[in-house]
């Protein structure tokens, strides 16, 4: 793959005048605007002392300027580190300490607290950026040149770090290279038939793989356009469907759209593709969607560490409950979790993958990196799956305790630690159970210390001060003791069964 392929896409002059992003107010950002705007931000980063290979941590609202900043980092050889806008200062402290960024970019309302944190962690620069094109970084960029000499980045050079938690211990920074991002975006744009005439509804967040690397990078590769929305809003999505050709979403999008009587075949007549990912899509949602719109949702499978791994076909049968075939260039096998020995077709085992899409490893964590790879280079996903006679991959469970709620990854250990630290709490266990809207709803089983009286409301109120909103349990139940096996390990499968119908009423 040629050097700085993203830079060549961003800087192409044959796309000038073509719309890259259109906002809800009708304003448009052309590919020329993308080239010039990203150059201004790249020059601003250089002026702030950010060098090739440095990290820039970004916690800002979704906006045009946030995309320009991302593009600027790609052009300048700077490692982009997006952070969920829901993270609290307590959570950000760890990420900033671990990543050691040269610059932190935050929302203007957070600049005071963020600069205090940056001073504590010896971060050289801290600037602000809002969702309307304001903030100190935007002001600096506005005065910069619209020309920029792109860094010469090789495939193996680091392009981004995305933090992904584990069931135990601290969050880990997944290191993604230019080659990882470029190879996956190129394959997806071809596999899903993207063309310049496509118009994608972009209502996803841009701090994780789906909204950032899949939606934006695929659009760049195809030279297509996006209707750029701050977030998912039912009425706005419905209004945009007649103007668009593609929607990328999480299962929650489709479940909520199905609740509207305005969703019908006529409204979706101009659409050619609906893509779902980031969480399992219920078979019933798949069936209802096809009956209502005439379209079969295309479900795919990916991870922060691997980008996209597999997809149902563009042409051919899309099977509910399946994530389709391995993407071109991606090797996928089902293996014995303990030995890594490949298992025969039809057997259930751990999904392992190898290919140009797979990340370089975990940031400054060679021990964890070594644990997650087999000797022959296959990455151990931790997801349990099988391959049927037709070659379709099906995910049947997870070897880890990961909860996916509304498309967000939540790891129980982090929540359990916060609950266990509360006064009057002896211990806790957190699980995900079926939820019609979010895919999985978070439930906490809590054991109180003798003589203490703690309420569900008190626990939830306290958690809101230390955890992002999507990590807060939807229900807290008090139990006399946690179920355990003979080795003393909490039997979370028992808890999942006990609370499986909590949200079905």
Q: CB neighbours (10 Å) of residue 414?
A: 21
Q: Supply the pLDDT for residue 397.
A: 65
Beta bridge partner(s), residue 208: none
- CATH: 3.30.43.10, 3.40.50.10800, 3.40.50.300, 3.40.50.980. Which one for 31-153? 3.40.50.980
3-state secondary structure of 151: coil
Q: Angle 436-314-356 (CA atoms, 0-180°, nearest 5)?
A: 95
Q: Give the pair of three-digit tokens for residue 125.
A: 């620069």
Beta strands in 218-293 (DSSP E): 225-228, 246-249, 273-276
- pLDDT, tens digit, for every residue of 161-199? 999 854 445 789 999 999 999 999 999 999 999 999 999
Asked if the 403-498 domain carries CATH number 3.30.300.30, the reply is yes
282-290 long-range contacts, CB within 8 A, separation 24+: 282/251, 282/255, 282/436, 282/439, 283/320, 283/321, 285/251, 285/254, 285/255, 285/258, 286/320, 286/321, 287/320, 288/258, 289/254, 289/258
Query: Where does the chain hold its CATH 3.30.300.30 domain(s)?
Result: 403-498
Mean pLDDT of 84-101: 94
Mean pLDDT of 121-140: 97
- pLDDT, tens digit, for every residue of 434-457? 998 999 999 999 999 889 999 999
Parallel, antiparallel, or unpaired for β 199-202 and 246-249?
A: parallel
Question: pTM above 0.95?
Answer: no
- pLDDT, tens digit, for every residue of 353-391? 999 999 999 999 999 999 999 999 999 998 888 999 999
Q: How far apart are CA 256 and CA 437, in angstroms?
A: 7
Q: CB neighbours (10 Å) of residue 46?
A: 16
Whether residue 504 is predicted with pLDDT greater than 90 in this model: the reply is no
Q: How far apart are CA 181 and CA 168, in angstroms?
A: 28
Signed CA dihedral, 140, 144, 146, 148: sign only: negative
Q: Name the CA dihedral angle for 160, 164, 363, 96, rounded to a multiple of 10 degrees.
A: 80
Query: Where does the chain hold its CATH 3.40.50.980 domain(s)?
Result: 31-153
283-288 long-range contacts, CB within 8 A, separation 24+: 283/320, 283/321, 285/251, 285/254, 285/255, 285/258, 286/320, 286/321, 287/320, 288/258
């Amino acid at each position: 793959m040629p050097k700085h392929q993203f830079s060549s896409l961003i800087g192409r002059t044959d796309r000038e005048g073509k719309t890259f992003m259109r906002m809800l107010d009708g304003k448009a950002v052309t590919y020329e605007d993308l080239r010039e705007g990203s150059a201004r931000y790249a020059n601003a980063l250089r002026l702030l002392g950010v060098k090739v290979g440095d990290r820039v941590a970004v916690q800002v609202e979704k906006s045009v300027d946030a995309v320009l900043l991302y593009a600027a980092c790609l052009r300048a050889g700077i490692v982009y580190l997006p952070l969920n806008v829901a993270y609290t200062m307590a959570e950000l402290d760890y990420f900033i300490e671990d990543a050691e960024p040269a610059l932190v970019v935050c929302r203007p309302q957070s600049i005071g607290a963020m600069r205090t944190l940056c001073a504590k962690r010896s971060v050289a620069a801290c600037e602000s950026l809002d969702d309307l094109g304001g903030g100190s970084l935007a002001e600096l960029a506005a005065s910069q040149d619209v020309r920029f000499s792109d860094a010469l980045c090789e495939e193996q050079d680091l392009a981004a770090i995305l933090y992904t938690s584990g069931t135990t211990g601290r969050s880990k920074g997944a290191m993604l290279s230019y080659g990882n991002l470029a190879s996956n975006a190129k394959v997806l744009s071809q596999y899903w038939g993207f063309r310049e005439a496509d118009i994608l509804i972009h209502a996803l967040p841009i701090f994780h793989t789906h909204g950032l690397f899949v939606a934006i990078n695929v659009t760049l590769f195809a030279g297509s356009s996006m209707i750029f929305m701050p977030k998912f809003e039912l009425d706005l999505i419905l209004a945009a469907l007649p103007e668009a050709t593609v929607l990328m979403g999480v299962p929650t999008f489709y479940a909520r759209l199905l609740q509207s009587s305005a969703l019908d075949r006529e409204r979706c007549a101009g659409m050619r593709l609906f893509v779902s990912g980031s969480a399992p899509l219920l078979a019933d949602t798949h069936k209802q969607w096809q009956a209502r719109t005439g379209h079969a949702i295309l479900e795919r499978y990916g991870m922060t560490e691997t980008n996209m791994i597999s997809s149902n076909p563009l042409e051919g049968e899309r099977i509910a409950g399946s994530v389709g075939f391995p993407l071109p260039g991606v090797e996928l096998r089902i293996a014995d979790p303990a030995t890594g020995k490949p298992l025969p077709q039809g057997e259930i085992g751990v999904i392992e993958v190898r290919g140009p899409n797979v990340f370089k490893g975990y940031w400054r964590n060679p021990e964890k990196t070594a644990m997650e790879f087999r000797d022959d280079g296959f990455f151990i996903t931790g997801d349990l799956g099988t391959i049927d006679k037709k070659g379709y991959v099906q995910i049947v469970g997870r070897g880890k305790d990961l909860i996916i709620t509304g498309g967000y990854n939540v790891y129980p250990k982090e929540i359990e630690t916060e609950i266990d630290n509360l006064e009057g709490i002896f211990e806790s266990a957190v699980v995900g159970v079926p939820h019609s809207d979010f895919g999985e709803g978070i439930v906490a089983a809590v054991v109180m210390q003798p003589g203490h009286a703690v309420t569900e409301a008190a626990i939830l109120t306290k958690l809101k001060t230390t955890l992002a909103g999507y990590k807060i349990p939807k229900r807290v139940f008090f139990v006399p003791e946690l179920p355990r096996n003979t080795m003393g390990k909490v039997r979370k499968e028992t808890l999942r069964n006990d609370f499986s119908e909590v949200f079905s009423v």
